[in-house]
Amino acid sequence: MATRRFLLTGGAAALALSVPLRDAAARRHPHARPHPADGEGDGDDAASGDAGAAAGTPADTPIGPLDTAARWAIILDANTGSVLLQKAADEQMPPSSLTKMMTAYLVFQALSEQHLKLDQTLPVSERAWRMQGSKMFVPLGGQVGVEDLIRGMLIQSGNDACIVLAEGIAGSEDQFVVRMNEQAHRMGLTGTQFRNATGWPDPDHHMTARDIATLARHLIQDFPQYYHYFSEKDYKFNNIAQGNRNVLVDKGLADGLKTGHTDAGGFGLCASSERDGRRIIMVLNGLPSSHARVEEGARLLGWAFANFEDVKLFTRYETIQQIPVWLGTQPSVPAVTRDDVVLTLPHGWRSHVRIRVDYASPLAAPVAAGAQVATLTLTGAGPTNMTYPLVASVAVPRLSLPNRAIAVIEHSIGGG
């Protein structure tokens, strides 16, 4: 059997061979171990030490280099997964309180599996009560509701809240961290290693900007029923009013997720925002101040929405190619998409997309409906070498034995 490759042109899939795109989304930076973290988790009023050392290097984008004050950065489209900007996105870095996003993921998982309830209370151990850094001020020996603890963890970035939740779910923070690392492995967070549930500085506790963005995407997609906690602007616990540390949320520019700070990691932010049906996820770290975090975050979010658009190339179940079938009750089978094929592209770049269909020809009958029969590959603009399975839209049974014999004879006589 020969492999047939067709380059589709015309209509929605117009072809332009002359504008190759820099493969910014596929470029990888070598892993580099950062300076050991030596600050307090999420101490947003402290200096950032040496975290801005590499801030002068521009970020890679599909439309050319872009300056950013962040040492580590990535921006992606949450719907398509397309990377719009990256800078040292695969270098290991101190994640500080961005760690709490994984703590939240495991809490939401326990809630969804009914191992935990929002109206349930958990005991406050002395270890949790003594935890330093940002706090929600849980009472020693008291009982605190799970929903209050979630708000304390995500809005106030309370380290004490994280310890109470970790101990309540896994019995100890150490056992909870085992679960965090197991979940990181399942998500494919290859640059991540957790040593605690809070982001407290530890030289062996690290993530990458890409891993944090992936985790954020999982939080948004896996637990939409709990995502609203990230967007709450304030809450009150024990008669103490506490505001959301994510200023972009307070300004209405984002609806989540988390901020963080350590001396080694600088000021960091993972933010997400949805506008006109598009959702952007942004991770910045290594910024020199909380003010720079807000300014750079707002600027880059605006840049991502202004310069890119989601383009639907094919709709779900659209026929892309008729593929010949050998010894089948039909001479060919329609190869269709399983889902909408959507790309995030710079404005006006739709005509730059190169589209190829690969398949073995002819297919041998029988062909089952829904079986993958071809591969659609998109290159040339935005993220390159994106592949999508094409499936048979209908079943094609095999001919009966007499009809197969006739078809073989006719094929031989015809010289096929």
- 233 flagged as catalytic: no
Closest CA to 104 of 155, 171, 178, 172: 155
Burial (0-12, 13-18, 19+ Cβ within 10 Å), 404: middle
Angle at the Cα of 93 (from 288 to 22), degrees rounded to 5? 90
Enumerate the H helices of 171-233 as residue ranges.
173-187, 209-222, 228-231
**Cα–Cα dist 370/47, whole Å:** 57
- 332 flagged as catalytic: no
410: helix, strand or coil: helix
**Cα–Cα dist 181/188, whole Å:** 11
Catalytic residue among 48, 82, 96, 97: 97
Query: Both tokens of residue 60?
Result: 């890679």
Chain Cα centroid distance, residue 195: 22
Chain Cα centroid distance, residue 282: 10
Q: What is the β-pairing status of strands 332-337 and 319-326?
A: antiparallel
**Cα–Cα dist 173/189, whole Å:** 20
Catalytic residue among 82, 157, 273, 289: 157
Q: Which residue has the tokens 């005509």?
A: 351
Closest CA to 206 of 198, 217, 218, 195: 195
Enumerate the H helices of 155-282 as residue ranges.
159-170, 173-187, 209-222, 228-231, 247-250
For residue 269, the one-letter residue type is L
Length of the chain: 416
- 97 flagged as catalytic: yes
For residue 401, CA distances in Å to 131, 286, 330, 405, 407 come to: 77, 70, 15, 6, 10
Residue 300: φ, ψ to 5° = -75, -30
- DSSP-derived letter for residue 11 is G
Residue 258 marked in a binding site: yes
Closest CA to 80 of 308, 354, 256: 308
As annotated, the binding site for substrate includes 258
Active-site positions read 97, 100, 157
